Amino acid sequence: MSPNSRGVEILSIGTELLLGNITNTNAQWISEQLSQLGLNHFRQTTVGDNCDRIIKVIQEISKRSNLLITTGGLGPTPDDLTTKAIAKSFNASLFERPHLWEEIKRKLSNSNLQDDSSSLRKQCFFPKNAQIINNPRGTAPGMIWEPITGFTILTFPGVPSEMKTMWEETAYDLVKNKFSDSYSFFSNTLKFAGIGESSVAEKINDLLNLKNPTVAPYANLGEVKLRITARAKNDLEAKKIIKPVKEKLKKDFSKFIFGEDNDTLQSVLIKELTKRNETIVFAESCTGGLLSSSLTSISGSSQVFRGSIVSYTNELKNSLLNISEDKLAKYGAVSEEVCEAMAINVKDQLVGDWAIAISGIAGPSGGSQDKPVGLVYISIAGPNNHITNIKKLFNSTRNRIEIQTLSVNVCLNSLRLILLSNSK
C-alpha cells in the first residue's frame, strides 16, 4: 500500500458487542495481523445488527479507505445481515452459489442441526463477482469483493476460530500481495516486574522519541511491557534494527526484565526450576489458592510443583501447618513470624526444595490501624532453610482481586530474583 493510500478499517458487527456481552477479540487480532503486514490501519467501528446502520457505515468507509474488513453477521439467523447490507450499500443483487449449498449440506450431514433451507441457504448468496473465502470450521463463508474501483471488502464470521482460519488460509496472501508495500512491522516485547511504568518511561525518555525502531511502554497489573517495533523488508532486517535498543534495555534494567514476548513470570520460573531439577510448594492464606492456580495454569508446571496447603483460618494453620496457637495469638496470622513458620513447615511437610508462604489482608474489610488493608507478608524458604521475608503494603485503594493478584506477582518475582542471584 503506497504512502498516499487511504488505509484499512475494521468493522465489527453485532449487537452483543455493543451491549458488552462479549469482548471484541477479533478486532484486536486483525489489528495485529495488519500491523505485521505494515498496513495503515486508521479506524475500528462497531455497529449493531441493524441493516440501515450497517449500510450507512459501509458507505462512509468506502469514501475514505481502500480496504474494509468485517467480522460478524454471517450465518443462518435473522440478525446475520452483513452480506445483505453490503450488497445494498452498492445497489448490488445477491446470487446463489449452488456449490456452497452442497458444501453446507455435507458439513451438516453428521451433525444434529436440522436442514432448514430457509435459514441455512441464505449463507450461499453473494454479489455476482465476489470471490468466496472458504470456511473450513463453520458453515458461513466469507467473501472478497471490490464493489467500486479502489475499495475492497473482506467479510469474516464473528466466531474467532473460524475467522482466524479463514484469514490464514485465504485472506492473508491476498491482503499482503494487493495492499502491502512489501515492508512489514516486527515487534519484540520486553517484560518487566518489580518496577512501575512511570519509572521505566522516565529512564528511557530518549528511546521514546526513536522513529525506527519505535519503543512504546504498556502496563498491566504488576507488569510493565516495552514493545520495540521495527519497519523493514523482512524479520531478519527488523531484528537487526531492534538489537541495539534491546541490548541497551537489558543492560539498564537487568534485574527487572524477566522475559520476552510470550514469557510470563510463571513460565520463566518453571523453566528455571526445571533446569535446576528443583521443586516448589506453597502455603497460602490471603490468596486462597491463586498462587497455586497461577503456576498450574502453565504447561510443564507438573515438573516442579508438588502441591500447596491453603489454610485460611487459624485452626487450619494450626492443624495443617503446625503453627502453634501461642504464636498465632502473640503475633497474629498476618505477621512475619507466622508467615515464616508457614513456609518452613510446608516445605518439610510437602517435601519441596523451595516453599513460598503468603498471609495478608486483602480487604476491603478486616484491616486495623496496626495491620491495614493491603498489608501482605511473604516468606520464601529455600535449600539449607535459607529464609527470605518480604513485607508489602499495597495501596488500600486497590480492590481485593488486585491485592491478591499483586501479591502473587511479588511472590513469583521475588523467587525469580533469588534464583537469579544463585544461578547454577
Q: Are residues 123 and 199 both part of a single domain?
A: no
Which residue, of 260, 284, 312, is where some domain finishes?
260
**Domain co-membership, 29 together with 146:** yes
| 346, 239: one domain | no
Asked if 279 and 352 count as a contact pair (C-beta separation under 8 A), the reply is: yes
**How many helical (H) and strand (E) elements, i.e. helices and strands, does the chain have?**
16, 17
Q: Report helix, strand or coil for 356.
A: strand
Other CB atoms closer than 10 Å to residue 150's CB: what's the count?
A: 11
Pick the last residue of a domain from 134, 164, 179: 179
Mean predicted confidence (pLDDT) in 69-83:
93
Note the pLDDT of residue 129.
95
Residue type, 253: F
Q: What is the predicted pLDDT for the residue at 39?
A: 85
Amino acid 384: pLDDT: 83
CA distances from 421 to 125, 270, 343, 418 (A): 65, 17, 20, 5
- Mean pLDDT, residues 185-213: 93
The confidence score (pLDDT) of residue 2 equals 45
Mark which of 196, 229, 260 sits at the end of a domain. Answer: 260
pLDDT of 113: 47
Here the CATH number for the domain that contains residue 230 is: 3.30.70.2860
**Per-position b or e across 218-236, b if 16+ CB within 10 A of its CB:** eeeebbbbbebbbbbeeee
| Per-residue confidence (pLDDT) for residue 5, from 0 to 100 | 55
User: Residue 341 has what pLDDT?
Assistant: 98
- Kindly state the percentage of the chain with pLDDT values over 90: 81
How far is 247 from 16, CA to CA, in rounded Å?
45
Q: Does residue 2 lie in a domain region?
A: no
Q: Is 391 helix (H, G, I), strand (E, B) or coil?
A: strand
pLDDT at position 183: 80
Q: Residue 318: what pLDDT? A: 97
| Residue 390: per-residue pLDDT | 97
Averaged pLDDT score across all residues of the chain = 93
CATH assignment at residue 276: 3.90.950.20
Please report the pLDDT score of residue 177 as a whole number.
86
Task: Please determine, for residue 108, whether its predicted confidence score (pLDDT) is greater than 90.
Answer: no
CB atoms within 10 A of CB 144: 17
The H-assigned helical ranges of 258-335 are 265-276, 290-296, 314-321, 325-331
Please indicate, yes or no, if residue 50 is contained in any of the structural domains: yes
Rounded Cα distance, 309 and 289, in Å: 8
10 Å CB burial of residue 173 (0-12, 13-18, 19+) is: exposed
Q: Is residue 378 over pLDDT 70?
A: yes
Residue 255 has pLDDT above 90, yes or no: yes
Taking alpha carbons only, the member of 41, 27, 155 closest to residue 89 is 155
The whole-number pLDDT of residue 339 equals 98
Contact 329, 255 (CB under 8 A): no
282 vs 112, residue with greater confidence: 282
From 5-9, 63-67, 102-106, 169-173, the region with the lowest mean pLDDT? 5-9
My answer on whether 223 and 286 are in the same domain is: no
CATH number of 65's domain: 3.40.980.10
Q: What are phi and psi of 167, to 5 degrees?
A: -60, -50
User: Does 424 have pLDDT greater than 60?
Assistant: no
User: pLDDT-derived band of residue 116, with 50, 70 and 90 as boundaries?
Assistant: low
pLDDT above 70 as % of the chain = 96
Indicate the number of domains in the chain.
3
Degrees, nearest 5: CA angle 374-375-376: 110
The reply to whether 121 and 12 lie within a common domain is: yes
Mean local confidence (pLDDT), 109-125:
70
Is 117 inside a domain boundary? yes
pLDDT at 73 over 70: yes
Indicate whether 237 and 99 sit together in one domain: no
417 shares a domain with 270: yes
User: What's the pTM value of the predicted model, to 2 decimals?
Assistant: 0.78
Please check whether residue 332 is in contact with residue 366, taking contact to mean a CB–CB distance below 8 angstroms.
Answer: no
Q: What pLDDT sits at residue 375? A: 97
User: What is the tens place of the pLDDT at every residue in 264-303?
Assistant: 999 999 999 999 999 999 999 999 999 999 999 999 999 9
Residue 181: what pLDDT?
A: 76
Domain span including residue 64: 8-179
Residues 191, 99, single domain; the answer is: no
Euclidean distance between CA atoms 263 and 200, whole angstroms: 19
Same domain assignment for residues 254 and 270: no
Assess if residue 24 is contained within a domain.
yes
| CB-based contacts of 329, cutoff 8 Å, min separation 6 | none
Both 222 and 154 in one domain: the answer is: no
Asked if residue 246 is part of any domain, the answer here is yes
193 and 149 share one domain: no
Integer angstrom CA distances of residue 379 from 4, 24, 325, 393: 59, 40, 19, 15
In a domain? residue 3? no
The Cα-based distances of 396 to 60, 362, 402, 403 in angstroms read 48, 9, 10, 9
Q: Specify the DSSP element, H or E, that contains 12.
A: strand 8-13
Q: What is the mean pLDDT of residues 3-26?
A: 88
Q: Is residue 93 part of a domain?
A: yes
Confidence of residue 117 (pLDDT cuts 50, 70, 90): low
One domain, residues 343 and 324: yes
pLDDT of residue 229: 92
What b/e readout covers 378-396, taking b as 16+ CB neighbours within 10 angstroms? bbbbbeeeeebebebebee
pLDDT digit string (tens) for 184-198? 788 999 999 999 999
CA distance 27 to 46: 10
* C-alpha–C-alpha distance, residues 69 and 58, integer Å: 10
3-class SS of residue 294: helix
Decide if pLDDT at 4 tops 50. Answer: no
* Cα–Cα distance measured from residue 297 to residue 290, given in angstroms and rounded to the nearest whole number: 10
